[in-house]
């Protein structure tokens, strides 16, 4: 048994990923590690019973202990309220946790030799950092019914003259939107990107549309640059470069790039580009995600959801073939970070052994249906959910007894 010195916050979730959560812990984590898990159950019914207090408590526990690992959770909509008899459409747990930890989300694909990216030039992972505050996600909109004037007004709290800008003089119906962002949030995003890039030793790209948006997008460019300037000596010492370009130029360049970079994106760009990259690298089941808070707190998870369609098949007693790779990498990410912060290299090494066992299993031809469809060569059959985890368990045991 390897001892993990400091607790890890373990956050359980819903549906198919909840099934995999238990299997991964029982077969790949708990037999090998003496670890103090601070457990929270974010099953949608527990969130409902506690009026979502459990989510808030889980976020504070991550802040206290420094490292957490989270299973995918249902974000309730009207159908879910009906399905589970919920009191209300509780907010997205990830949104709640992010608001408390004030973090930036980094998504990175896991690469295996027999699942080639759709883009031939991508030979190394491309990590996306999505700024997760403001812009259209906190916008205010009006459906304009007919002719009239639209204005943007700012009234200083300290008094003084308000600032007015004419948006448009409507001569007929249309639409109107106001959005905002905050200097503090943009700076903390840039700081998180710089910290992540230094940690991983990869170059940073940031892109916006400052040629068109000469105030709003230019502010993002300038604040990001200021943070880069403030960290220039650390970046130089680690050989990490910073590159700013227009978002359309970045989109074109990424298709010809070999990867191995951090692509920092504004909120909307990150939403779109992260889904494009996940598909381009092969499967959502291979995409990991980590929330890095400026206070040095980390939460690891798979980028995908609860895989509802597979869960319903599971409930009907049908066989499922759901990929647990990103879930396992959420655990190894948390363990490696815990080991790094604690100064326990055996824990970091175990995390790497487990990751290598997963990659070897897939490269050896045992994989779930999502990968079996796109792997070269294609395996004779896809492993089911349990077979895949058991195959990894065998590899892990062999590796650990050899080392
Ligand atoms: P999803 O769970 O990511 O699944 C969408 C589809 O992607 C699946 O139906 C499946 O395709 C494929 N897929 C995703 N992960 C897979 C895996 N590990 N192995 C194999 N295939 C995989 O998204 P969703 O169905 O839109 O959302 C379900 C629930 O998850 C929702 O309640 C949503 O609120 C929640 N959600 C949570 C998080 C989070 O907690 N981080 C993130 C996103 C969504 P096929 O059916 O074609 O096989
Ligand atoms: Mg999206």
User: How confident is the prediction along the chain (403 residues), in pLDDT tens digits per residue?
Assistant: 999 999 999 999 999 999 999 999 999 999 999 999 999 999 999 999 999 999 999 999 999 999 999 999 999 999 999 999 999 999 999 989 988 987 799 999 999 999 999 999 999 999 999 998 889 988 999 999 999 999 999 999 999 999 999 999 999 999 999 999 999 999 999 999 999 999 899 999 999 999 999 999 999 999 999 999 999 999 999 999 999 999 999 999 999 999 999 999 999 999 899 989 998 998 899 999 999 987 889 999 999 999 999 999 999 999 999 999 999 999 999 999 999 999 999 999 999 999 999 999 999 999 999 999 999 999 999 999 999 999 999 999 999 999 8
Find out whether the beta carbon of 365 lies less than 6 Å from any atom of ligand 1: no
User: What is the pLDDT, as a whole number, of residue 132?
Assistant: 81
Preceding peptide of 259 cis, ω within 30°: no
Q: Which residues contact 108 (CB under 8 A, 6 or more apart)?
A: 125, 127, 128, 287, 288, 289, 290
User: What is the pLDDT, as a whole number, of residue 103?
Assistant: 79
Find out whether the beta carbon of 259 lies less than 6 Å from any atom of ligand 1: no
C-beta of residue 25 within 8 angstroms of C-beta of residue 360: no
How many other CB atoms are found less than 10 A from the CB of residue 184?
Answer: 12
Take atom 40 of ligand 1 and give the residue whose Cα is closest: 72
- Closest to 253 (Cα-Cα) out of 243, 238, 266: 243
Strand 104-109 to 148-154 pairing? unpaired
Find out whether the beta carbon of 12 lies less than 6 Å from any atom of ligand 1: no
Residue 337 main-chain phi, psi, to 5 deg: -65, -40
3-state helix, strand, coil in the chain (%, to 5): 45, 20, 35
Find out whether the beta carbon of 274 lies less than 6 Å from any atom of ligand 1: no
User: What is the pLDDT, as a whole number, of residue 102?
Assistant: 78
CA of 306 from ligand 1 middle (Å) equals 5
Find out whether the beta carbon of 279 lies less than 6 Å from any atom of ligand 1: no
Q: Which residues contact 339 (CB under 8 A, 6 or more apart)?
A: 4, 345, 346, 347, 348, 349, 350, 351
Q: Which residues contact 199 (CB under 8 A, 6 or more apart)?
A: none
User: What is the pLDDT, as a whole number, of residue 142?
Assistant: 97
- CA gap 164, 181 in Å, rounded: 18
Find out whether the beta carbon of 370 lies less than 6 Å from any atom of ligand 1: yes
Residue position matching structure tokens 């959560």: 21
C-beta of residue 140 within 8 angstroms of C-beta of residue 179: yes
Total length of the chain: 403
C-beta of residue 399 within 8 angstroms of C-beta of residue 356: yes
Local structure of residue 261 (DSSP, 8 states): E
Question: Which atom of ligand 1 is nearest to 303's Cα?
Answer: 41
User: What is the pLDDT, as a whole number, of residue 216?
Assistant: 98
User: What is the pLDDT, as a whole number, of residue 403?
Assistant: 81
Question: Which atom of ligand 1 is nearest to 304's Cα?
Answer: 3
Take atom 41 of ligand 1 and give the residue whose Cα is closest: 72
Gyration radius of the chain over CA positions:
23
C-beta of residue 108 within 8 angstroms of C-beta of residue 132: no
Angle at 131 between CA 129 and CA 132, to 5 degrees: 120
C-beta of residue 10 within 8 angstroms of C-beta of residue 41: no
Angle at 328 between CA 297 and CA 114, to 5 degrees: 125
Q: Tell me which ligand sits closest to the C-alpha of residue 130.
A: 2
């Amino acid at each position: 048994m390897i001892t993990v010195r400091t607790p890890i916050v373990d956050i359980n979730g819903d549906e198919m990923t909840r099934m995999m959560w238990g299997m991964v812990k029982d077969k790949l984590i708990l037999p090998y590690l003496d670890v103090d898990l601070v457990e929270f159950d974010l099953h949608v019914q527990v969130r409902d019973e506690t009026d979502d207090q459990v989510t808030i408590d889980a976020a504070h526990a991550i802040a206290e202990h420094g490292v957490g690992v989270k299973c995918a959770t249902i974000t309730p909509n009207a159908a879910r309220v009906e399905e589970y008899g919920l009191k209300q459409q509780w907010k997205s747990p990830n949104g709640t946790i992010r608001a408390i930890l004030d973090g930036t989300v980094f998504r990175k694909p896991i690469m295996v030799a027999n699942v080639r990216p759709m883009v031939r030039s991508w030979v190394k992972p491309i990590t996306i950092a999505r700024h997760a505050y403001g812009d259209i996600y906190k916008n205010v909109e009006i459906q304009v019914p007919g002719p009239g004037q639209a204005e943007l007004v700012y009234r200083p709290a300290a008094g003084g003259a308000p600032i007015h800008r004419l948006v448009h003089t409507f001569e007929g119906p249309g639409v109107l939107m106001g959005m905002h962002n905050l200097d503090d949030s943009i700076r903390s995003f840039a700081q998180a990107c710089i910290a992540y890039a230094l940690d991983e030793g990869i170059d940073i790209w940031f892109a916006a549309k400052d040629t068109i948006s000469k105030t709003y997008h230019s502010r993002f460019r300038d604040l990001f640059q200021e943070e880069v300037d403030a960290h220039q000596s650390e970046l130089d010492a680690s050989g990490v470069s910073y590159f700013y370009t227009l978002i359309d130029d970045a989109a074109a360049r990424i298709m010809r790039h070999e990867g191995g970079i951090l692509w920092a994106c504004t909120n909307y760009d990150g939403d779109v580009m992260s889904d494009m990259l996940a598909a381009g690298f092969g499967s959502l089941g291979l995409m990991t995600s980590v929330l890095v808070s400026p206070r040095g707190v980390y939460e690891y998870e798979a980028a995908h959801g609860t895989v509802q369609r597979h869960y319903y098949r599971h409930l009907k007693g049908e066989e499922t073939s759901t990929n647990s790779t990103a879930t396992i990498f959420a655990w190894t990410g948390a363990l490696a970070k815990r080991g790094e912060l604690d100064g326990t290299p055996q824990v970091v090494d175990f995390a790497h052994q487990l990751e290598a066992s997963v990659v070897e299993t897939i490269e050896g031809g045992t994989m779930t249906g999502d990968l079996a469809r796109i792997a070269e060569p294609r395996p004779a059959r896809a492993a089911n959910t349990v077979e895949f985890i058991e195959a990894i368990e065998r590899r892990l045991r062999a590796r650990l007894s050899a080392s």
